[in-house]
Amino acid sequence: MKIYFDGTSWTAGGCLENPSETRFSKIICDHYGAEEYNISTMGGSNRCIARNILDHKFDEYDIVMIQMVNNSRTEWYDENQKKFRQVKTSIPNSFSDELRTFWSTYYEEIYQKEYGISDEKIYYNLFRKILQDKKHMIFTCARESFVPFDMDISLDLYDNKKRHAIHNQWGDKPPYPRLKNYLTSGNHPNELGHKIIAQMLINFIDKL
């Protein structure tokens, strides 16, 4: 059994001391005795996830798990570094002054919420279409989608009722406390948070 994971820092295990051993994807795979294939990107975008999906054949995977992310994020191909790079509204300090100016201008003067919503619709339907013949799950973490998609599950460990949404199986009574002691100072799940997320996703996988 082999499980494919893609997403952003929550799925990658951001802020964990040993993410390859303690992130929820590893916990899930250990539970099923499955091989883990996790290509999540820190600060990743839905465009990055879509590019990865288009670059893969899924015959070898038994389950595909996709974390959709904030739709304001995007990526571009850096000709100097010969790779795709990710960007979001909080421009990384590691960017050069030229890049910071460019992307600040993009988000202030070009990007619009409606553009992000349109992108989110495109990527959501792309993921569903490509994965329609494969057991799969599309989920979100720590935010509400701007579009009322039929997400399989939405996860939130914040103590904020307006930000959480557990769809379909739990209604408005999530089976875990939404407390910040499950988050690191970087607002990513800590080891306990990953264990909680893993159990929620296992409960959903068992119903696939």
What single DSSP character describes residue 192?
H
Residue 137 and residue 128: Cα distance in Å, rounded? 9
Q: Is the pLDDT of residue 160 over 90?
A: no
Q: Would you place residue 208 in the very low, low, confident or very high pLDDT band (cuts 50, 70, 90)?
A: confident
The pLDDT value given to residue 175: 43
The pLDDT value given to residue 181: 65
The pLDDT value given to residue 164: 40
Q: Would you place residue 184 in the very low, low, confident or very high pLDDT band (cuts 50, 70, 90)?
A: low
Q: Is the pLDDT of residue 12 over 50?
A: yes
More confident residue, 117 or 186: 117
- Residue 37 burial class via C-beta count within 10 angstroms: exposed 0-12, middle 13-18, buried 19 and up: middle
The pLDDT value given to residue 187: 72
pLDDT in tens, 30-75: 999 999 999 999 999 999 999 999 999 999 999 999 999 888 999 9
CATH code of residue 72 = 3.40.50.1110
Mean pLDDT, rounded, of the chain? 84
Helices 46-54 and 113-130, packing angle to 10 deg: 30
The pLDDT value given to residue 73: 93
User: Can you point out the beta strands (E) in 58-189?
Assistant: 63-68, 74-78, 83-87, 136-141, 153-155
From its phi and psi, is residue 186 left (phi > 0), alpha (psi between -120 and 50) or beta? alpha
C-beta separation of 4 from 136 below 8 A: no
Residue 123 and residue 171: Cα distance in Å, rounded? 25
Q: Is the pLDDT of residue 110 over 60?
A: yes
Q: Is the pLDDT of residue 17 over 80?
A: yes
What is the extent of the structural domain holding 19? 2-205
Q: Would you place residue 148 in the very low, low, confident or very high pLDDT band (cuts 50, 70, 90)?
A: low
More confident residue, 189 or 195: 195
More confident residue, 104 or 159: 104
Number of domain units in the chain: 1
Q: Is the pLDDT of residue 113 over 80?
A: yes
Residue 29: CB atoms within 10 Å: 20
Tokens found for residue 21: 């051993």
The pLDDT value given to residue 163: 38
The pLDDT value given to residue 157: 56
What one-letter code names the amino acid at 166?
I
